[in-house]
Chains A and B, each alone.
Chain A
């Protein structure tokens, strides 16, 4: 599948933003974060800024961005519509949570409840994003149980790494935030490895034989393509580049997305234990930057490695 830049930017930015919102809501609800003005302002502005920038970027791949509002109407059947509705709905509790924290200096009581609701709504939005892919039967590499956990865990992971930067910036303790980040990186890493193992060892039920119904005669192979030039289908569903370099890209994604953030986060833990706040901050920033690069590569690969059944009509042996 063709990896549209706007969709990769959208899912990585909103993933990090919603992940950060989930943690802010949860930490506030459990009384683990002081209602500090500067921290609250920066953290919530960063989270909502990432989410908003991502949502705006997502409209860039539309043929008619000015009609994007129409996408809110079909939540009964469409995960894309549900994602849009949830994304907008999440602004309400997140906004109230932000008002309480930034303007009233409160993140407890009812304001903590808003945080908790924002946290759930954020996770639900990322869930909807994952389900858009996981519900597409023609793409077996998306339509499986590894996809939604992957989206959720990578959002939680990038959000936790951002939270650590903010905590160090304001010299706040934030309870066990670094432990949460390390666990989230480990969980995201495991989910992605599981996903890769799954797509390497399984293939779609559909074959050239079932796509044409000619399997009853014998092995089916393409003799003549219907056209000599590329068409929309070949450009959109027949994207080759990422698949050609899949092994290398996976190593990059694994190193930058998981191994480095994991090691750097352990470094943060170590720096914290020594009371070296500056070193902790530097390591936390490096961990988040590395993860951002890794997740973007992972997302590109998620599209690039996905195979669509339509290519069975164009000579692909499997989907």
Chain B
């Protein structure tokens, strides 16, 4: 059913991504690809992976932006993935009911068995979270590692999305954004976490933490003229004497 669940648990599982600490290493994207190639929405098909036009399905894409000019400018690495929106048009436009939002935790998923591959959901997503798999003929997207987070075969510490578990900079946080007292909700409050493209009103669950502001650098002191380096003691004395 592509109608959004009328009654939900209030639980909003999602990610909080810290743009201050992300180093742009792409490890999240790679571990995501690795896990999900065998996960709920597997395979994440690659076409011609070693050919001239390698292409494939990825749930995470890491962009790098520059913002601002000069000393105030920043380079910001920007991981982009499904935001598991509260009002996801990718779900409501689906003609078959293959695209759905779970009432129990808000995760947006695709039922690969009923997807007709019309691609309309990918048009309806402003964030480019959905990628079509030419090989399976169906749409693929981030599952928030639904096969990890509830997986009792894994140690509890590993029951987080693959992207979160692998981030070496601890820039990705997973939790319930519907619970105001959760660690992720506190993080959003403390750091001023924000929505992407709020003007479109998709109400993304995932939040981004802005880069922290840095104190302005003190103005550089002009360098003292360097002493002329010479092997001769006499000439060194002449240089010193004349430099006075």
B117 beta carbon closer than 8 Å to chain A? yes
Q: Are A231 and B131 in contact (CB under 8 A)?
A: yes
Residues of A within 8 A of B54 (CB): 229
Given A217-B211, A218-B68, CB of A230 within 8 Å of CB of B55:
yes
Instruction: Please name the residue on chain A nearest to B51 by beta carbon.
Output: A229
Q: Are B67 and A219 in contact (CB under 8 A)?
A: yes
Q: For the complex, give the distance between the alpha carbons of A71 and B99 in Å.
A: 12
> Among residues 189 to 219 in chain A, which have CB atoms less than 8 Å away from a CB atom of chain B?
205-206, 208, 210-219
B169 beta carbon closer than 8 Å to chain A? no
Number of contacting residues on B, CB 8 A? 71
Q: For the complex, give the distance between the alpha carbons of A309 and B114 in Å.
A: 27
Interface string of A43-86 (1 = CB under 8 A from B): 00000000000000000011111011011111011111100100
Residues of B within 8 A of A227 (CB): 58, 61
Closest Cβ of chain A to B114, distance in Å, is 6
For B97, B132, B136, B197, the residue with the greatest tally of chain A CB atoms inside 10 Å of its CB is B197
> Among residues 122 to 179 in chain B, which have CB atoms less than 8 Å away from a CB atom of chain A?
122-128, 131-134, 136-139
Closest Cβ of chain A to B62, distance in Å, is 5
Q: Are B199 and A71 in contact (CB under 8 A)?
A: no
Q: For the complex, give the distance between the alpha carbons of A212 and B209 in Å.
A: 11
Number of contacting residues on A, CB 8 A? 59
Given A64-B115, A211-B196, CB of A84 within 8 Å of CB of B95:
yes
Q: For the complex, give the distance between the alpha carbons of A206 and B211 in Å.
A: 21
Residues of A within 8 A of B76 (CB): 212, 214, 217
B75 beta carbon closer than 8 Å to chain A? yes
Residues of B within 8 A of A221 (CB): 65-67
Interface string of B74-104 (1 = CB under 8 A from A): 1110101000000001001111111000000
Q: Are B120 and A132 in contact (CB under 8 A)?
A: yes
Listed in ascending order, the chain B residues whose CB lies under 8 Å from chain A are 1-3, 19, 24, 26, 29, 53-58, 61-69, 72-76, 78, 80, 89, 92-98, 114-120, 122-128, 131-134, 136-139, 194-202, 208, 210-211
Residue contacts A-B, CB under 8 angstroms, 25 given: A63-B117, A63-B133, A63-B137, A64-B117, A67-B116, A70-B98, A74-B2, A77-B93, A78-B95, A80-B118, A135-B93, A136-B93, A137-B200, A137-B202, A138-B125, A218-B72, A219-B69, A221-B65, A222-B63, A223-B75, A224-B64, A230-B55, A309-B126, A309-B200, A314-B63
Listed in ascending order, the chain A residues whose CB lies under 8 Å from chain B are 1, 61-65, 67-68, 70-74, 76-81, 84, 132, 135-139, 205-206, 208, 210-227, 229-233, 236-237, 308-310, 313-314
Rank and list the top 5 A-B pairs by shortest CB-CB distance, nearest first: A63-B117, A218-B68, A63-B137, A310-B128, A71-B95
